[in-house]
Amino acid sequence: MLLAIDTETTGVDWHDDAFMISVATHLGSHVYDKRVCEHGEWDTIMADVLMLLNKADKIIMHNAKFDIQKLCRLGIPLKIFKVVPF
């Protein structure tokens, strides 16, 4: 499965957090916004995002270094992301 993922953040500094995650696969796309989540809902969303990342054969990112760091701050393990040379 091919997966594209992107984050939106409160800023570009190291400790700024992602508040929105966009995910797209051949099945469709989803935008998850932490600012509108009910209590505990964000944890469920992050578990779903982790499951999608684990299932992906390839992960497409535009600004990978930045987004990986933000996703790791949200609890996604770094080992999910493998760098493949062009």
Instruction: Give domain status of residue 54, yes or no.
Output: yes
**pLDDT for res 86:** 66
Instruction: Give domain status of residue 75, yes or no.
Output: yes
Instruction: Give domain status of residue 8, yes or no.
Output: yes
Instruction: Give domain status of residue 85, yes or no.
Output: no
What is the pTM assigned to this prediction? Answer: 0.88
CB 58 within 8 A of CB 3: yes
Q: What is the extent of the structural domain holding 44?
A: 2-80
Instruction: Give domain status of residue 11, yes or no.
Output: yes
**pLDDT for res 25:** 94
Number of domains within the chain: 1
Q: pLDDT per position in the chain (86 positions), as tens?
A: 999 999 999 999 999 999 999 999 999 999 999 999 988 899 999 999 999 999 999 999 999 999 999 999 999 999 998 877 76
Q: What is the CATH number of the domain that holds 58?
A: 3.30.420.10
d(CA 57, CA 14): 28
